[in-house]
Chain A
Amino acid sequence: MDAALIPEGAKRCSFPKFMLGIAIVGAVLLWGVYAMLLCWFKGLNQTNMNDYYGFALWIWADLAVIAVGGGAFFTGLLKYIFKIDELKNIINFAVIIGFICYSSALLILAIDIGQPLRGWFIFWHANVHSMLTEVAFCLSCYFAVLTIEFIPNILENRQLNKVPFFHHLAHNMHGTMAIFAATGAFLSFFHQGSLGGVAGVLYGRPFAVREGLLIWPWTFFLFTWSAAAFGPCFTLLVTRITEAVTGKKLVKDNVIHLLAKISGWMIFTYIIAKIIDTIYWANVTVPGLGYELSHFYTGNSLYGYWILVTEIIICGVIPGLLLINKSTRENPNLRLLAIILGVIGVCLNRWVMVLQVMAVPVMSFDTWALYIPSWQEVATTILPVAYGIILIAVTYRYLPVFPQELELNQSKAQES
């Protein structure tokens, strides 16, 4: 039925089977859209946020998708600026994942502001003393970069590419992509950093506040570093899931090994910096503010020392070591374990730096604020996942996302 749109020589499932899958995920998407509309039409009273606890669950999701979406800017930087040519075989998919992550982040922000009709105020009446203004500027501009990076892949669709103008446009955009990638890296550095900077300058929140360099707290650099380190892990993870779902090998092992190795070294160096930061914070910053470390990890039923150990050792040191060691990196199961731990680690880091920060009691009469999100928050947090699955399914079906797919599956196609 849609055979004319499918890339030449590529095997895809039947159209009814594809539509059935889309319908199932689409039902989850509609649930999220319903919750989103409730938040827009009835207001933020649909959430469990209050004056004491002002961060909904989706703010964690927002920071997490931005962190894991960092694979797009970092892979683009490596491919177009550092000229690591092997990455051309995974860059299309990295861009699609980045596009999904950043469009989801913007959607979440549109829900979070409560009155999306006033979303443009952040540009028009910008508060130039706020790091979040910088985040909004860089997020919007970087989403434009991702859209520009995504367009050539769309134009390479079998039918669109027959239109001479689209064919030339895709070709010319490929030619100038280094400029867009460099702009994207510049924008990503600042918005990833400023999201960390927001936590680091919370002087009233001793769990988050950090010293730093000039106006930038150390969290500014740690957030950028962690996004560049763990973002490629997420790209590799989604690639592996896509291969499992399609039953095909889509990217050659040497490309996967290379990206895993780069990610491993980035994680390893990041986690050393993170450990130094944590030790300095625990031994100098915290006592200097009149607290003890135990204040942040005891006296409640959820946030114990386990979260610190899990984030830094289990989901930081271990994946870093597994990925920098050649034998463990080239073992598919151990590599998969490392990238799963890595993705959990960066998501946990964002959870700690957003939700635990708000939960820790600050005043002597305060108690732990253990937040339970409403179903509307859960639904709007799952919404981007459903949207991402649908977009990946559609792009995989109709666009030449993986340049090595035909070569890797030729023998299978000949057999069938």
Chain B
Amino acid sequence: MFPFIFEWVWDIGHMLFFGGFWYAIGILGAGMTYCIAKAAYDTVKESQDSRH
């Protein structure tokens, strides 16, 4: 799973499998981070606007 695990080899099999795996995890993680951060920003902005 990670290059520091003893059986890791820098071959095409590991690069393709884990390249695809981390690519998918990366997209999902980045997408959710964006949504949560934007929701927090929108919430704060809305509460500030309602105070003014």
Contacts and interface: CB of A to CB of B under 8 A. Distances in A.
Interface of A: 123-126, 128-129, 133-134, 137-138, 141, 144-145, 148, 164-166, 168-169, 171-173, 176, 179-180, 183, 186-187, 190
A171 B39 CA distance: 8
B30 to A, nearest CB: 9
In the A-B complex, the 8 residue pairs with the smallest Cβ-Cβ separation, listed nearest first, are: A128-B13, A169-B39, A168-B39, A168-B42, A172-B35, A128-B17, A141-B24, A165-B43
Given A124-B5, A126-B17, A173 B28 contact: no
Contacts of B13: 128-129
A173 B34 CA distance: 9
In this complex, the interface size class of chain B, counting residues with CB under 8 Å from chain A, is: 20 to 34
Given A141-B28, A148-B32, 19 more contacts: A125-B1, A125-B5, A126-B18, A128-B11, A128-B14, A137-B21, A138-B24, A165-B40, A165-B43, A168-B38, A168-B43, A168-B46, A169-B39, A173-B35, A176-B31, A176-B34, A179-B31, A186-B24, A187-B24
Interface of B: 1, 5, 7, 11, 13-14, 16-18, 20-21, 24-25, 27-28, 31-32, 34-36, 38-40, 42-43, 46-47
B18 to A, nearest CB: 8
A138 B23 CA distance: 12
Contacts of A123: 1
Contacts of B17: 126, 128, 133-134, 137
27 contacts: A124-B5, A125-B5, A126-B17, A128-B11, A128-B13, A128-B17, A133-B17, A138-B24, A141-B21, A144-B28, A148-B28, A148-B32, A164-B47, A165-B39, A168-B38, A168-B39, A168-B43, A168-B46, A169-B35, A171-B39, A171-B42, A172-B35, A172-B39, A173-B35, A179-B31, A183-B28, A186-B24
Contacts of A169: 35-36, 39
A141 B17 CA distance: 13
Contacts of A134: 17
A126 B35 contact: no
Contacts of A168: 38-39, 42-43, 46
B1 A176 contact: no
B38 A172 contact: yes
A152 to B, nearest CB: 9
B17 to A, nearest CB: 5
Contacts of A172: 34-35, 38-39, 42
Contacts of B31: 148, 176, 179-180
Contacts of A128: 11, 13-14, 16-18
Contact of B27 (A129, A138, A173, A179): A179
